[in-house]
Amino acid sequence: MSSETIRIQRRSDGVDIEATLLDGMAPQDFVVVGNEWAAERSMVMQELLKSAVPRNQWPQSLHWDWRRKAPELTLLEASGFGVICERQWQGVMLTKTASYTARLDLDKGKPLVYIDFLEVAPWNWIIPEIDRAGRFRALGSVLFWRAVKQSEEEGFRGRVGLHALPQAEPFYEKACGMTSLGRDVAKQDLLYMELSGQQAAKLLKKGKTQ
């Protein structure tokens, strides 16, 4: 297991708070995440119901349960990453390195880091209809960047692939610069997106110029 110190912004006062970005999460960590987040999911759901927010505007991962993903972490190809701040898991990601290969023409068949699951803690969700502003910012960005870095460390040149939930598509396309490769029937019609080695180099280089 290794970790690095990062800073994430607390929304309430705009202050950057020290957080830990961990890799090598254990199956029991996913169980803790599942347990810790379950009560908050339930509260969000009740608030959504009370305020009669239409179902199609509910956060699309509202009913996920990370406990069910815990066994996956026993596989060599799987890695769990998470951000801890104020002694709570603020965002979690499960990546795989062997099950999927690149689909973009230039990289076709080459290995990539596939983001199997990525989610931000429910108390960090922004849901204006129920006055939820989210506690910490940037968790999705931090985790995505970590996946690109993992890909570089693995010798995959930063290539990353994922199937985004519809509500998350703009983020991966616009913020992360991923290329959309169409809907995937085998994956519940979710949009498959990929970051090429070239696109990744741009993202990783940005850091070196500052």
Partner 1 sequence: MAAKRTMTLNLTDAEMIALEELSERKDLSKTAVLRQALRLYQMVDARIERGDKLFFEDESKAKAEVVVL
Partner 2 sequence: MTRVQNEGGPPHDWLLQAVDIEDSCRSLSVGGLASDLGMLVSGSSNVQPVFGRLIEFARRKQGLTIERLAERADIDLEAIVEIETQDRVVPEVRTVYQLAQVLKLPPGRLMEVAGLATPKPEVSRAALRFAARSEPTNQLSRDEREALEEFVKVLAESSDGV
Interacting residue ranges for partner 1, rule: CB under 8 A: 1-2, 24, 74-77, 97-99, 109-111, 153-157
Minimum distance from CB of 86 to partner 1 (Å)? Answer: 27
Closest CB to partner 2 among residues 69, 157:
69
Shortest gap between Cβ of 64 and partner 2 (angstroms)? 4
Residue nearer to partner 1 on the CB measure, 51 or 99: 99
Hunting for tokens 């280089």 — which residue is that? 205
Q: 58: which DSSP letter?
A: S
DSSP state of 63: T
Among residues 107 and 116, whose Cβ is nearest to partner 2? 116
| Contacting partner 2 within 44-103 (CB under 8 A) | 45-46, 49-50, 57, 59-66, 68-69, 93-94
Q: How many residues are present in the chain? A: 210
Closer by beta carbon to partner 1, 124 or else 199: 199
Evaluate whether 59 touches 127 at the Cβ level (below 8 Å). Answer: yes
Residues in binding contact with partner 2, number by CB under 8 A: 71
Q: Which DSSP state fits 153?
A: H
What's 99's DSSP letter?
S
Distance of CA 50 to the CA centre of its chain: 28
The interface partner of residue 59, options being partner 2, partner 1, none and the CB cut-off 5 to 8 Å by kind, is partner 2
Task: Say what angle helices 197-209 and 139-153 make with each other, to 10 degrees.
Answer: 110
Look up residue 25 and give its two tokens: 């999460």
Find which of partner 2, partner 1, none residue 109 binds, CB within 5 to 8 Å per kind: partner 1
* Contact of residue 180 among partner 1, partner 2, none (CB under 5-8 Å per partner type): none
Would residue 52 be called left, alpha or beta, if left means φ above 0 and alpha means ψ between -120 and 50 degrees?
A: left
Nearer to partner 1, 66 or 156 (CB): 156
